[in-house]
Amino acid sequence: MGCKAALAPYLPGGGPESIGRVKGFHGNFLVVLRALAYLLTLGRGGVPRAAEQAVLNANYLMSRLRERFQVVNEGPCMHEFVITMEREAKERGVTALDMAKAMVDEHIHPPTMYFPLIVKEALMVEPTETEGKETLDRAADTMLRLYDRAMAEPEGMHRKPETTVIGRPDEVKAARDPVLRWEKGRN
């Protein structure tokens, strides 16, 4: 590892300004460093405000999506909430995966799929504290529109995403026969 002389005192084990030794059990150092930088940027008063904003954003989005989606837990949530598409999967054949892939076509990062494992067809929605009302409304409007489309024409949801370079991969084939490195001439 190399660095400028002015930074040497801050290197792990480099002196009184050092963060100390870095060992494998500390995890990914850069992720921890990024989290520390974010916390320092927020400051003492900013951390509670960020938490409050995350909770507010999650509850706002949950109240919007509750119009159509089945929310697993009633009442207010903290920074995340879970919806289930179990009913839609049984009645219309539209799964959480279908909804997530359709969101990709709309340029929205989909929620965590199939987690928690105890909820069938789960989508765990976690809007961050940095999202504004306009972004939350756009996400809610898009998800509600996709829900209506899924109920009207469920077959079309199985082809999503359609606007991306790769399209929809065969998830089962990818899990059973993963291609872990590129080989010349392999499609």
Each residue's pLDDT tens digit, 144-174:
999 999 999 999 999 999 999 988 888 889 8
Give the tens place of pLDDT for each residue, 108-135. 999 999 999 999 999 999 999 999 999 9
Domain 27-166 coded CATH 3.90.1150.10 = yes
Q: Using the predicted structure, report yes or no on whether residue 141 has a pLDDT greater than 70.
A: yes
pLDDT more than 90, % of the chain: 73
**For residues 51-64, average pLDDT:** 98
Task: State the Cα–Cα distance between residues 100 and 104, nearest whole angstrom.
Answer: 7
Would you give the end-to-end CA distance of the chain in angstroms?
38
Model pLDDT, residue 25: 61
Name residue, tokens 């509750």: 66
Alpha carbon 35 to its chain centroid, in Å, reads 17
**For residues 28-54, average pLDDT:** 94
Residue ranges of the domains in the chain?
27-166
**Two tokens at 128?**
């961050």
**DSSP helix/strand/coil, 128:** coil
Give the range among 7-21, 32-46, 104-118 with minimum mean pLDDT. Answer: 7-21
Give the tens place of pLDDT for each residue, 61-103. 999 999 999 999 999 999 999 999 999 999 999 999 999 999 9
User: Can you give the pTM of this predicted structure?
Assistant: 0.77
User: Are 88 and 164 a contacting pair, CB within 8 Å?
Assistant: no
